[in-house]
Amino acid sequence: MIALQEVRASDEQVREVLDRSGLRDWHLSCAPGRVKGHAGVAVLTRGEPSRVSRDLGPSEFADSGRWLEVDVSGPGGQVTVVSTYVHTGEAGTPRQGEKMRFLDAVGSRLAALAERDAYAVLTGDLNVCHGVDDLKNWKGNLGKSGFLPEEQAHLDLWARAHGYVDVHRALHGPGPGPYTWWSWRGKAFDNDAGWRIDYQLGSRALAAVATRAQVGRAAAYAERWSDHAPLTVDYDFAVGCG
């Protein structure tokens, strides 16, 4: 399956692009942003999901285009896939307060999913670097949104209290990097001065069958099609049955 963030398009516009890209037969689940051209998340699956939900919980985030859950059937049983997009925030402003409330809501929902599903994964752009291995210029970003201790504490809590595993980091091992986002400005991409802000956080059972993680970093600046690079993780349910 494929999870998308910052779609910034209507269902019809996304479907048109998919049709042109040879993905006509994939099932599209979308959560467009309430403001045209903003946010938006989606999940592509081979078959139709048994459940689709845009409900994170608090009414503040209803129809924000930042949360989408789908349940699909896999060889190991039902898998819940979440695509989320956490906005950037700005330290010391109401925007940062909104970001923290969103992260609170995510934690509550992950706790509920952990109780309900053996296999669950949160995918997406969290706009949080969990530690110094996830940000090239971490010293220069102390005190800034995306690298605040109170943001990082949420990821710690999700792992400690709810059992979610940073699958990418677990498979890759210590950093620095690999990063998933680089500014368009200056020489950030050429110097690999990036941020690791895109994640797959899997439940314990799902993380146990993860076999490979890879960041699809473009070969050169001119070949980039986004300031992010896709994160791909392979899961082999036969591993859990062996």
Which alpha helices (DSSP H) does 147-230 contain, by range? 149-162, 167-172, 204-207
- Peptide bond preceding 178: is omega within 30 degrees of 0, i.e. cis? yes
What percentage of the chain exceeds 70 in pLDDT?
Answer: 98
What is the model's pLDDT at position 240?
A: 54
**Contact indicator for 81, 124 with CB cutoff of 8 Å:** no
74 forms bridges with which residues in the sheet? 77
Tell me which residues are annotated as active site: 85, 125, 228
pLDDT tens-digit series, residues 99-125: 999 999 999 999 999 988 799 999 999
Does residue 229 register a pLDDT over 90? yes
Query: What is the band of 239 on the pLDDT scale with cuts at 50, 70, 90?
Result: low
Determine, yes or no, domain membership for 128: yes
Q: Which residues are annotated as a binding site for Mg(2+)?
A: 6, 125, 127, 227-228
Does residue 205 register a pLDDT over 70? yes
Determine, yes or no, domain membership for 100: yes
What is the model's pLDDT at position 110?
A: 96
Determine, yes or no, domain membership for 30: no
The rounded distance, in Å, linking the Cα atoms of 142 and 152 is: 12
Query: What's the pTM?
Result: 0.94
Determine, yes or no, domain membership for 42: no
Query: What is the band of 212 on the pLDDT scale with cuts at 50, 70, 90?
Result: very high
What is the model's pLDDT at position 203?
A: 96
Look at 153-157, 225-229, 234-238 and tell me which has the smallest mean pLDDT: 234-238
Of 168, 169, 172, 196, nearest in space to 182 by CA: 196
Determine, yes or no, domain membership for 193: yes
Determine, yes or no, domain membership for 71: no
How far apart are the two ends of the chain, measured CA to CA in Å?
24
Q: Which residues are annotated as a binding site?
A: 6, 125, 127, 227-228
pLDDT tens-digit series, residues 153-162: 999 999 999 9
Pairing status of strand 27-31 against strand 77-85: unpaired
Domain that holds residue 148: 86-241
What is the model's pLDDT at position 241?
A: 47
What is the model's pLDDT at position 77?
A: 86
Determine, yes or no, domain membership for 25: no
Of 148, 162, 167, 164, nearest in space to 213 by CA: 167
| 217 against 73, higher pLDDT | 217
Helix 94-116 / helix 149-162 crossing angle, nearest 10 deg:
10
The rounded distance, in Å, linking the Cα atoms of 12 and 24 is: 12
Give me the CATH number covering residue 237: 3.60.10.10
Q: How many CA atoms, within 13 angstroms, populate the side-chain half-sphere of residue 117? A: 26
**Contact indicator for 81, 167 with CB cutoff of 8 Å:** no
What is the model's pLDDT at position 120?
A: 96
For the chain, the average pLDDT equals 94
- Peptide bond preceding 32: is omega within 30 degrees of 0, i.e. cis? no
The CA-atom distances, in angstroms, between 208 and each of 167, 225, 240 are 9, 32, 7
Of 242, 235, 1, 233, nearest in space to 118 by CA: 235
Q: Count structural domains, the chain.
A: 1
Token digits for 199? 């994640």
Determine, yes or no, domain membership for 28: no
The rounded distance, in Å, linking the Cα atoms of 52 and 177 is: 33
Token digits for 101? 């409330």
- Mean pLDDT for the stretch of residues 205-232: 96
- Mean pLDDT for the stretch of residues 216-227: 96
Does residue 21 register a pLDDT over 80? yes
